[in-house]
Chains A and B, each alone.
Chain A
Amino acid sequence: MTAIARRAAAPPPASTGIVASLLRSRRLVQRNLLVYKRGWMVIFSGFFEPLFYLLGIGYGLGTLVGGVELADGRTVSYAAFVAPALLATASMNGAIAESIFNVFFKLNFSRTYDAILATPLGIREIAIGEMLWSLFRGTLYVFAFVLVMIGMGLVISPMLFFVIPVSILIGAAFSAAGLATTAYLRTVQDFDLPMGVVVMPMFLFSGTFFPISVYPQVIQLFMELTPLFHAVGLLRGLAVGIFGLHELWDLAYMVVFASIALWIALNRLEQRLIK
């Protein structure tokens, strides 16, 4: 065995720049890949949820609803109206599944991060690494779902290709928000608040299944503050071929939201892990 105290030449100093840090973050992705190598069915299952919603609500309920009129006056099928929203939700749910549930487990029960922090990796690398992983996972869902949308004729615009990068941005934003939330959660019961009071209502009411114009003005304004509203608006615009000021504002909102969430996540995780 190679003796530990042999005074070998010192290893090259770990560089501290942003690029080096990003490179080191990929170790977390590698770790998760190794774990999921044995449990890939779990990943697979995440694809079916939006698909079932699309079939059940988009097509099933859609037969009762008929067409939906868009901002530019065109009418599209209800399924085409709902599909991009389900894509946005799928990005959100995929990101949250990783950054809330799995990260919570590693943070509180398995102490995986404590072990990793004894290596040259720091909080920043761990947070970014977990985000990269949840993006990787989310991107798989996005690809699969976009293929389904194409197959069902629900993409009616050449802007389709922007759907993929934008979905990844949405995933990043919710992943960061999930991390920030997780860093505050103490017990399993604490999940109920963000999941039941924030995620679920957002899923139902932020323009996913029907335009928010059905609400009174005050509630509309309130819903416009939620990130999923903007994610849905943006993807729906791209899927039906509308990209105007409104969508630009949605995009800006997502970028700012992602940055703030990441900043909170990094700071809060540091407080949790470094004592």
Chain B
Amino acid sequence: MPPGEEILVHARDLTKRFSGFTAVDRVNFDVRTGEAFGFLGPNGAGKTSTMKMIACSSPVTDGDLSVIGMDPRTQAAQIKARLGVVPQTDNLDAELTVLENLLMYARYFDIPMSVARPRAADLLAFMQLSERAKDQVEPLSGGMKRRLTIARALINEPELLILDEPTTGLDPQARHLLWERLYRLKQRGATLIITTHYMDEAEQLCDRLVVMDKAKIVAEGSPRELIERYSTREVLELRVPEAVRAGLMERLDGLAERIEELPDRYLLYAADGEQALEQVHAREIPTESALVRRATLEDVFLRLTGRSLVE
């Protein structure tokens, strides 16, 4: 089924307040069937709170939310029966084996054993965990635990899979394997909701995404659209000798649409990075190094949410 035929998650003025602060402030978004929808944002932006409301594990404070056409306030059990949830921190059952984790989880969904057994075997194979079926969970690597958590979330053949920072803390190999598996799920038509603060992850996986900052959605679109809207096509990264820094911003003036001065380098946002670099040379500005690269979602992200550290 092509994306866009049906709205699976619909949020209007969705709000989450904890005592004293607002974690999610009147956000609007729609997730359509078959798409991979991303929530980007720095820590504390409200991504996880939004995710938890969709997963019916955190009550909606205010606003409208519908998940698979149902209301989380009154139909949580019915919604949860059709969701797969991969939480930020693994919460596998450490007292059970790998296979038992899947089988027991199937029991929570009232899936008969005759159905659960072949399904669990399929999922273990899909997640490359078949050899570890009889092992305890604890000695598994981070990547394996993550894959098992995702396999567990798929045991009820969910219509919507919610992944909260699926690859945080994994090594590159484990991340790439996970991305590949998630991509395959997507190709089979799965609807995914993903939160992440890895821009490469969002660019790899998401058809559409929203950027959240300070409890609000600050931008929405496909990765490509966002880059076009909030950045230039290319970025020139310049490193210059310390002595040249004084007054350099004036000397660079006019060479790019936007210039950002960082403690260690200058970023020139320009449609054509090479051309900008030529002009830098033409103005006889000494450089230590110069790199022209395509603009990424990370540039968009930093522009929208700022460079200051969020603690």
| A interface residues with partner B (beta carbon < 8 Å) | 1-8, 10-11, 13-14, 16, 24, 27, 30-31, 34-35, 110-112, 114-122, 274-275
Q: Which of A1, A5, A116 contacts B125 (CB 8 A)?
A: A1
Chain B residue numbers with a CB within 8 Å of A30 are 104, 107
Contact B58 A274 (CB under 8 A): yes
For A7, the chain B residues whose CB sits under 8 A away are 1, 159
CA–CA, A14 to B107, complex, Å? 13
Interface segment out of the listed B185-193, B207-215, B301-309:
B185-193
- Decide: A110 and B190 in contact? CB cutoff 8 A: no
* Chain B residues whose CB sits within 8 angstroms of the CB of A13 once the complex forms: 75, 78, 81
Looking at B82-90, B233-241, B289-297, the stretch in contact with chain A turns out to be: B82-90
**Chain A residues closer than 8 Å to B87, beta-carbon distance:** 114-115, 118
In the complex, how many residues of chain B place their beta carbon closer than 8 angstroms to a beta carbon of chain A? 52
A-B contact pairs, 17 of them (CB 8 A): A2-B119, A2-B122, A3-B157, A5-B1, A5-B159, A5-B189, A6-B157, A34-B104, A110-B93, A110-B94, A114-B87, A115-B105, A118-B153, A119-B81, A120-B81, A122-B76, A275-B18
Chain B contact residues, CB within 8 Å of chain A: 1, 18, 33-34, 52, 55, 57-59, 75-78, 80-85, 87, 89, 91-96, 100, 104-105, 107-110, 119, 122-123, 125-126, 152-154, 156-159, 161, 185, 188-191
Residue of A nearest to B105 (CB): A119
When the two chains form the complex, which single residue of A3, A10, A120, A122 contacts B189, counting CB atoms closer than 8 Å?
A3
Q: Are B189 and A6 in contact (CB under 8 A)?
A: yes
Given A3-B190, A6-B189 in contact, is the A119-B91 Cβ separation under 8 Å?
Answer: no
With contacts A5-B189, A35-B96, A122-B76 taken as known, whether A14 is within 8 angstroms of B81 at the C-beta atoms is yes
CB distance from B301 to the nearest CB of A (A): 27
Contact present for B126 and A119 (CB under 8 Å): no
The CA of A4 and the CA of B107, in the complex, are separated in Å by 18
| Least Cβ–Cβ distance between A240 and chain B, in angstroms | 42
Chain A hits for B154, CB < 8 A: 4
Once the chains are docked, how many angstroms separate the CA of A5 from the CA of B186?
9
Find chain A residues with CB under 8 A from B77 CB. 14, 16, 120-122
Max chain A CB contacts within 10 Å: which of B58, B123, B152, B159? B159
- Considering the complex, give the chain B residue whose CB is closest to the CB of A37: B100
User: Are the C-beta atoms of B161 and A119 separated by less than 8 Å?
Assistant: no
Question: A22: shortest Cβ distance to chain B, in Å?
Answer: 14
Measured CB to CB, the closest approach of chain B to A79, in angstroms, equals 39
Quick check: B91 and A114 within 8 Å, CB to CB?
yes
Decide if B108 touches A120 in the complex (CB within 8 Å).
yes
Interface contact A116-B108, CB-CB below 8 Å: yes
Task: Output the least CB separation between B194 and chain A (Å).
Answer: 14
Residue of B nearest to A111 (CB): B91
Are A115 and B189 closer than 8 Å at their CB atoms?
no
Q: Within the complex, what minimum Cβ distance (angstroms) separates B113 from chain A? A: 11
Docked pose: A6 CA to B92 CA in angstroms: 26
Contact B109 A119 (CB under 8 A): yes
CB distance from B260 to the nearest CB of A (A): 38
CA distance A5 to B5 in the complex (A): 14
**Cα distance A2–B122 when bound, in Å?**
8
Q: 5 new A-B pairs (CB below 8 Å) besides A14-B110, A119-B81? A: A4-B185, A111-B89, A115-B105, A118-B87, A119-B105
Are the CB atoms of A274 and B57 closer together than 8 Å? Answer: yes
B191, A11: Cβ atoms under 8 Å?
no
Question: Are A4 and B105 within 8 A (Cβ)?
Answer: no
Contacts of B100 in A (CB 8 A): 34
Establish whether residues B57 and A117, one from each chain, have CB atoms under 8 Å apart when the complex forms: yes
Separation of A229 and B95 alpha carbons in the complex (Å): 36
A56 to chain B, nearest CB (A): 33
Return the 6 tightest CB-CB contacts between A and B, nearest first.
A119-B108, A5-B189, A111-B91, A3-B188, A14-B77, A5-B190
Which residue of the partner chain B has the closest CB to A275? B58
Residues of A within 8 A of B94 (CB): 110, 112
Bound Cα distance A14, B83 (Å): 13
Chain A, residue nearest B122 (CB): A1
Residues of chain B within 8 A (CB-CB) of A8 are 157
Please measure, in the bound complex, the distance between the C-alpha atom of A34 and the C-alpha atom of B107, giving whole angstroms: 12
B120 to chain A, nearest CB (A): 11
Q: Kindly provide the distance from the CB of B168 to the nearest chain A CB, expressed in whole angstroms.
A: 16
Find A118's partner among B80, B92, B107, B191 (CB 8 Å cutoff). Answer: B80
Q: Is the CB of B109 within 8 A of A120?
A: yes
Q: How far is the CA of A7 from the CA of B189 in the complex (A)?
A: 9
B84 nearest CB neighbor, chain A only: A4
Contacting B108 at CB < 8 Å: which of A2, A11, A35, A121?
A: A121
Q: Which of A1, A8, A121, A122 has the largest number of chain B CB atoms within 10 A?
A: A1
> Closest B-chain residue to A8, C-beta based?
B157
Known A-B contacts A1-B126, A5-B188, A8-B157; the reply to A110 vs B107 at CB < 8 A is no
Which of chain B's residues have a CB closer than 8 A to the CB of A110?
91, 93-95
Find out whether the CB atom of B119 lies under 8 angstroms from the CB atom of A115: no
Which residues of the partner chain B approach A4 to less than 8 Å between Cβ atoms? Answer: 84, 154, 157-159, 161, 185, 188, 190
